[in-house]
Chain A
Amino acid sequence: METKRENVTAAETQTMAENNDATTPERANAPEVKMRARDLNLWYGETQALHDISLDMYAREVTALIGPSGCGKSTFLRCLNRMNDLIAQVQIRGEVTLDNEDIYDPSVDVVQLRTFVGMVFQKPNPFPKSIYENIAYAPRLHGTGTSRSALDDLVESSLKRAGLWNEVADRLHTPGTELSGGQQQRLCIARAIAVNPEVILMDEPASALDPLATATVEELIHELKDNYTIVIVTHNLQQAARVAGYTAFFHMGQIAEFNDTDTLFTNPREQRTEDYITGRFG
């Protein structure tokens, strides 16, 4: 991983920009920052869970959020696609932007936002429908794939990108809930990809999986990075080190430290970061 991490520098940024030019010209001048939080505060009723969070999440990079339980990292993640809206008595102040567009602006359609910012949950939660329907559901809902053949193609390409195609190609119409845990999680990732989001949020996507399935999912995250901006919450520090280019360390509802993953893990600025990553608490 050392080699990988070394050069998130000019060279790679440039190749990324070139990729941009080639594949999606309209995004050519998009800023490098995909999502940005500024002075974000969040209260559950009377309890403040997030304090002045400011964080930049870079395009086509994996940003890991680490920290001890209850530090607010999952809460912050859910702010990025406004899943917190579903919880009563949540109050949010501050700004979160997607491509410089405030996602908490009253004119924002949450449904629209979530097609740009997809999410994968801790526990695999495929719908109790067939594998095919799991993936075809959202595109059909949003009207992006209406014809049968277009849907078939979309299902195939999504499953391929999630690395699941070879395992399920011959049983697309069996229930998604009959897959193994790791397969279910990759199905959920495929399901998120099928909507063609720009950002994928992952809330401890591998914590319910065995080591082998975890490795597969991590590899997948690595590949997805080329096309998507990924924000991942993880308890597993090695996992953060393996998959993420940038890591934010959350502590007591604040960002204690944010840096590229290498620096954060090898040369942390803060004492509490060091204490956490060396296992003295957490």
Chain B
Amino acid sequence: MQRRLTGSADDPRIRSRYRTESRFKAYTITALFVAFAIILAFFADIITQGYSAFWRSEIQVTLDYNERAERVGQFALQEELREVVSRGAVRSIPLEIRNNPELAGSTREVWVPVYSRVDQYLKGNEELDPELAPIVDRLAEEDRIRNVFNWAFFTSGDSKLPEMAGIFSAAVGSILVLFVTLMFAFPIGVMSAIYLEEFAPDNKLTQLIEVNINNLAAVPSIIFGLLGLAVFINTFGVPRSSALVGGLTLGLMTLPIIIISTRAALRSVPDPIRLGAFAMGCSRWQVVRDHVLPLSLPGILTGTIIGLAQAMGETAPLIIVGMIAYIPDAPTSIFDSATVLPAQVFTWASEPRKAFVEKTGAGIMVLLAILLTLNAAAVFLRRRFERRW
């Protein structure tokens, strides 16, 4: 019996076809592997550099509220510890004594953060002064040094002392900026998209607007920063470095993203739904309100969140409007000077001190965690509220 289905294995043309196919498949797998490896290396680098910032060394000291400490806090420490303990931990002692005069003359045993270079030495990141190292080693042996979770990293603002620096004020700044961005870009963006998609006639003017919106989404973000500087600060006198000007600037940048994603969401609502509603005697607004918006809301929210996530990671335009400032205290309103997480990371990254390297890594991790959370929220919203028909 002649077998017609299996005989082709010897056919050179078919063999070469299979070879080409497996070669192509190998290329695609390699590409995926390379991409994955790069991401993995990136994360591994950040995590190894940054994870130690979530821990800090503290030292047990006896604070002596003597007369000299009333003027300079460091005199409350034993002499050999003055170089070991963070200056930030004792600098408020004169103020404490002034506020509570009964403290004067007393002593107190407390755990305080160590000087950043000592901290780095204990973490094994850096060598220490040959005079200081033996003292630290001895203290460690006496169990007077402990390693604790660095809550201060999340609760304090920026500082010139790495051991005191945290991301709190930058995080508050980011929240305020995003709030302003949302309030500015969401209503304008969604309304514009609804007009363009549901109401606008299809003529040259709307086509021109459409092309321009698509182009705006591709404009380098620093240009938006310059626009924000020229319009909001120079023309309207919005306070420089404030969350307001930053939020408005990022709002300009997010606007085209929101418009484009909202239009896509509106367009994905099937026309028969609209026609059905029109045939029931709905006006255009009723069609949009009762049928189109409820169906497209998950898509609109997803687009908005992704736009906000992008705005949150943006640094360049904010540098232009002065949001790269040194902000130790969290802003309390959108008019206060503020900075944002990526700008904080940028500031730390440009610091030469070793202790700021781990801060940079930790800052990036926090930023990434927030962005991942935002994106996960977008995915969740889409899954949860998407309705099929």
Contacts and interface: CB of A to CB of B under 8 A. Distances in A.
Interface in A73-101: 81, 83, 86, 88
B208 interface: no
A259 to B, nearest CB: 29
Interface residues of A, number: 26
B281 A195 contact: yes
Contacts of B283: 111
Interface string B118-162: 000000000000000000000000000000000000000000000
A137 interface: yes
A273 interface: no
Given A121-B272, A128-B273, A128-B387, A86 B278 contact: yes
A114 B276 contact: no
Contacts of A141: 280-282, 286, 290
Interface bin, chain B: 20 to 34
Given A88-B201, A137-B290, A141-B286, A128 B279 contact: no
Given A123-B272, A125-B273, A128-B273, A138 B280 contact: yes
Given A177-B389, A195-B281, A121 B276 contact: yes
A136 to B, nearest CB: 11
B3 interface: no
Contacts of A113: 281
Given A88-B202, A128-B389, A142 B272 contact: no
Contacts of B290: 137, 141
Nearest to A142: B281
Given A123-B272, A127-B273, A128-B273, A138 B389 contact: no
Given A121-B272, A141-B286, A192 B279 contact: yes
A115 interface: yes
Nearest to A197: B281
Q: Which of B275, B276, B281 has the most CB of A within 10 A?
A: B281
Contacts of B276: 121, 125-127, 188, 191
A111 B281 contact: yes
Q: Which of A111, A126, A177 has the most CB of B within 10 A?
A: A111
Contacts of A224: none
Contacts of A127: 273, 276-277, 291
Interface in B234-292: 270, 272-273, 275-283, 286, 290-291
A83 B295 CA distance: 22
B388 interface: yes
A121 B295 CA distance: 20
Contact of A83 (B201, B275, B282, B291): B275
A118 B389 contact: no
A119 interface: yes
A152 B388 CA distance: 26
Nearest to A191: B280
Contacts of A83: 275, 278-279
Interface in A198-254: none
Interface in A120-141: 121, 123, 125-128, 137-138, 141
Contacts of B272: 121, 123, 125
A116 to B, nearest CB: 9
Contact of A81 (B279, B291, B389): B279
A83 B271 CA distance: 13
A112 interface: yes
5 contacts: A111-B282, A112-B281, A128-B295, A128-B389, A191-B280
Interface of A: 81, 83, 86, 88, 111-115, 118-119, 121, 123, 125-128, 137-138, 141-142, 177, 188, 191-192, 195
Given A126-B276, A192-B280, 7 more contacts: A88-B201, A114-B280, A121-B275, A125-B272, A126-B389, A137-B280, A137-B290
